[in-house]
Amino acid sequence: MPTGIIEQLQVLYGERFRSQPRLERLILATAATEQVISHKRISDISIDHSRDITIALQALVKQGLQMINSTTAMAVVLFIICRGRIYQPRIRSSV
Protein backbone atom coordinates (compact mmCIF):
# COMPACT_ATOMS: atom_id res chain seq x y z
CA MET A 1 0.00 0.00 0.00
CA PRO A 2 1.22 3.49 -0.74
CA THR A 3 2.78 5.30 2.17
CA GLY A 4 0.29 7.35 4.10
CA ILE A 5 -2.95 5.63 3.00
CA ILE A 6 -3.60 4.12 6.42
CA GLU A 7 -2.76 7.40 8.14
CA GLN A 8 -5.07 9.34 5.82
CA LEU A 9 -7.91 6.89 6.45
CA GLN A 10 -7.36 7.25 10.18
CA VAL A 11 -7.56 11.03 9.87
CA LEU A 12 -10.64 10.84 7.63
CA TYR A 13 -12.57 8.28 9.68
CA GLY A 14 -10.83 8.28 13.07
CA GLU A 15 -12.09 5.60 15.43
CA ARG A 16 -14.56 4.43 12.81
CA PHE A 17 -11.60 3.19 10.74
CA ARG A 18 -9.42 2.03 13.64
CA SER A 19 -12.24 -0.07 15.09
CA GLN A 20 -12.75 -2.01 11.85
CA PRO A 21 -11.50 -5.61 11.76
CA ARG A 22 -8.29 -6.26 9.80
CA LEU A 23 -10.08 -7.42 6.64
CA GLU A 24 -12.33 -4.36 6.52
CA ARG A 25 -9.29 -2.07 6.97
CA LEU A 26 -7.56 -3.91 4.11
CA ILE A 27 -10.63 -3.46 1.90
CA LEU A 28 -10.86 0.26 2.68
CA ALA A 29 -7.14 0.81 2.10
CA THR A 30 -7.32 -1.07 -1.19
CA ALA A 31 -10.38 0.93 -2.19
CA ALA A 32 -8.64 4.19 -1.38
CA THR A 33 -5.68 3.12 -3.50
CA GLU A 34 -7.47 1.53 -6.45
CA GLN A 35 -10.74 3.54 -6.48
CA VAL A 36 -12.91 0.52 -7.37
CA ILE A 37 -12.77 -2.91 -5.75
CA SER A 38 -14.37 -6.27 -6.32
CA HIS A 39 -14.73 -9.47 -4.37
CA LYS A 40 -12.22 -11.08 -6.74
CA ARG A 41 -9.65 -8.35 -6.18
CA ILE A 42 -9.87 -8.72 -2.41
CA SER A 43 -9.61 -12.51 -2.80
CA ASP A 44 -6.44 -11.99 -4.85
CA ILE A 45 -4.70 -9.94 -2.14
CA SER A 46 -6.12 -11.56 0.98
CA ILE A 47 -5.84 -14.97 2.60
CA ASP A 48 -9.38 -14.68 3.95
CA HIS A 49 -12.13 -17.11 3.02
CA SER A 50 -14.52 -16.05 0.26
CA ARG A 51 -17.50 -15.96 2.65
CA ASP A 52 -15.59 -13.74 5.10
CA ILE A 53 -14.82 -11.31 2.28
CA THR A 54 -18.49 -11.23 1.30
CA ILE A 55 -19.52 -10.50 4.89
CA ALA A 56 -16.86 -7.77 5.22
CA LEU A 57 -17.94 -6.08 1.99
CA GLN A 58 -21.59 -6.20 3.08
CA ALA A 59 -20.69 -4.74 6.48
CA LEU A 60 -18.87 -1.81 4.87
CA VAL A 61 -21.85 -1.12 2.60
CA LYS A 62 -24.22 -1.19 5.60
CA GLN A 63 -21.95 1.26 7.43
CA GLY A 64 -21.98 3.60 4.44
CA LEU A 65 -18.25 3.28 3.85
CA GLN A 66 -18.72 2.01 0.29
CA MET A 67 -21.56 1.51 -2.14
CA ILE A 68 -22.36 -1.09 -4.76
CA ASN A 69 -22.83 -0.46 -8.46
CA SER A 70 -25.47 -3.06 -9.22
CA THR A 71 -24.78 -2.90 -12.95
CA THR A 72 -21.18 -4.06 -12.64
CA ALA A 73 -21.36 -5.70 -9.19
CA MET A 74 -18.33 -3.66 -8.22
CA ALA A 75 -17.91 -1.75 -4.99
CA VAL A 76 -17.56 1.92 -5.81
CA VAL A 77 -15.42 3.77 -3.36
CA LEU A 78 -16.62 6.83 -1.52
CA PHE A 79 -13.20 8.48 -1.79
CA ILE A 80 -11.57 10.92 -4.13
CA ILE A 81 -7.79 10.89 -4.36
CA CYS A 82 -6.30 14.20 -5.38
CA ARG A 83 -2.57 14.87 -5.39
CA GLY A 84 -1.95 11.90 -3.14
CA ARG A 85 -4.51 12.87 -0.50
CA ILE A 86 -7.77 11.08 0.22
CA TYR A 87 -11.00 13.06 0.41
CA GLN A 88 -14.53 11.85 1.05
CA PRO A 89 -17.02 13.58 -1.22
CA ARG A 90 -20.34 14.69 0.16
CA ILE A 91 -23.12 12.53 -1.24
CA ARG A 92 -26.35 14.43 -1.89
CA SER A 93 -29.56 12.58 -1.38
CA SER A 94 -31.94 12.55 -4.32
CA VAL A 95 -34.95 12.25 -1.97
Query: Is pLDDT above 80 for 93?
Result: no
Tell me the CATH number at 13.
1.10.10.10
Judge whether 95 lies within some domain: no
DSSP 71: T
Closest CA to 31 of 92, 80, 89: 80
Judge whether 66 lies within some domain: yes
Closest CA to 13 of 94, 93, 95, 87: 87
Q: How many domains does the structure of the chain reveal?
A: 1
Residues 68, 61 contacting (CB under 8 angstroms)? yes
Where do the DSSP E strands lie in the chain?
Answer: 36-37, 66-69, 74-77, 80-82, 85-87
Query: Is pLDDT above 60 for 95?
Result: no
Please give the helix or strand (H or E) that residue 80 lies within, else none: strand 80-82
pTM, to two decimals: 0.71
Residue 14 pLDDT class (50, 70, 90 cuts)? confident
Average pLDDT estimate for 19-45: 88
pLDDT at 84: 54
Query: Is pLDDT above 50 for 25?
Result: yes
For residue 59, how far is the Cα from the chain centroid?
A: 11
Judge whether 93 lies within some domain: no
Question: Which residue range is the domain that position 9 belongs to?
Answer: 5-87
| pLDDT tens readout for residues 39-82 | 888 999 999 999 999 889 888 877 877 655 544 445 444 454 44
Of residues 18 and 1, more confidence is placed in 18
